[in-house]
C-alpha cells in the first residue's frame, strides 16, 4: 500500500491548513493510500546551522528533534504533502527551518517520491509561498502533483476554509492526481526501473572545483 506523509507547518493543529490537508486525507483513504499527518508549526524548530555534521551522521546534528523523527517517516513514504499558512507572503518560518534541515540532512534518495505543496492564506501571498515549497521537491528529483488550480485555500479560520468550496475541490483533485502518480510510478519502477541520476559534477567555480 502506498504511503503519504503530510506535514502541517501551521501552529494550529485544527486550523485552515489542517482543513485543507483533511480534505486530501479523506480522498487518500478512498484511494486505499495510507497517510500520516505531522503538525510541526507548534514546535520549537531551529534553523540549519550549516555545520555539515549530517554528512557524517546521516541525520541532523540536533538529535532528539522533530526533523529526525520525521526523516524516518519520509524515508518510508511514497509521497510528501507539505502544507503551510502564508506569513508575509512566504511559508511560515518554522516550516522553512524544518524543511531546510529535513531535506539537507537526510541521506536517502527522494527520487520519484511524489511531492505536493499546499498553502493557506487569508488574502494574498499564496503563489509566492507555493513556489518556495515546490523548490524542495524539484531539487530532489521528486515529481510534483498538481490540481485544477494552484494548491491553495483561503481563510482566517478553519470554518472559512470549509466555505472555500473551490479550494476544497482543488485539494480533492490534488489528492486524486497524487494517488494516480504514486501508483503509476510504482508500476513504472517495476517495469523500467528508476531513471539513472548523474551526480558526479558539483560546479561552483569556473575551474569546476
Ligand X SMILES: Cc1cc2nc3c(=O)[nH]c(=O)nc-3n(C[C@H](O)[C@H](O)[C@H](O)COP(=O)(O)O)c2cc1C
Min dist CB 35 to ligand X, Å, is: 18
Min dist CB 147 to ligand X, Å, is: 18
Largest separation between any pair of C-alpha atoms in the chain: 57
Q: Which of 145, 147, 138, 16 is nearest to 83 (CA)?
A: 16
Min dist CB 87 to ligand X, Å, is: 4
Binding footprint of ligand X on the chain (CB under 6 A)? 10, 12, 15-18, 85-89, 120-125, 155-156
Q: Which three cell numbers stand for residue 46?
A: 531551529
C-beta closer to ligand X: residue 28 or 87: 87
Kindly report the CA angle at 92 between 22 and 62, in degrees rounded to 5? 100
C-beta closer to ligand X: residue 84 or 147: 84
C-beta closer to ligand X: residue 120 or 147: 120
C-beta closer to ligand X: residue 92 or 134: 92
Min dist CB 165 to ligand X, Å, is: 16
Amino acid at each position: 500500500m502506498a504511503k503519504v506523509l503530510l506535514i502541517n507547518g501551521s501552529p494550529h493543529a485544527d486550523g485552515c491548513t489542517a482543513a485543507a490537508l483533511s480534505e486530501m486525507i479523506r480522498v487518500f483513504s478512498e484511494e486505499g493510500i495510507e497517510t500520516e499527518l505531522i503538525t510541526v508549526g507548534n514546535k520549537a524548530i531551529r534553523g540549519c546551522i550549516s555545520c555539515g555534521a549530517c554528512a557524517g551522521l546521516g541525520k541532523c546534528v540536533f538529535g532528539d528533534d522533530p526533523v529526525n523523527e520525521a526523516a524516518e517517516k519520509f524515508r518510508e513514504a511514497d509521497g510528501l504533502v507539505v502544507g503551510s499558512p502564508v506569513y508575509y507572503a512566504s511559508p511560515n518560518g518554522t516550516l522553512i527551518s524544518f524543511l531546510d534541515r529535513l531535506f539537507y540532512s537526510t541521506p536517502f534518495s527522494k527520487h520519484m517520491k511524489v511531492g505536493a505543496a499546499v498553502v493557506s492564506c487569508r488574502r494574498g501571498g499564496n503563489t509566492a509561498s507555493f513556489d518556495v515549497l515546490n523548490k524542495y521537491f524539484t531539487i530532489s528529483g521528486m515529481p510534483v502533483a498538481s490540481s485544477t488550480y494552484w494548491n491553495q485555500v483561503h481563510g482566517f479560520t478553519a470554518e472559512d476554509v470549509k466555505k472555500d468550496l473551490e479550494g476544497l475541490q482543488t485539494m480533492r483533485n490534488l489528492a486524486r492526481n497524487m494517488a494516480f502518480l504514486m501508483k503509476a510510478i510504482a508500476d513504472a519502477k517495476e517495469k523500467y526501473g528508476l531513471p539513472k541520476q548523474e551526480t558526479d559534477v558539483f560546479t561552483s567555480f569556473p575551474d569546476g572545483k
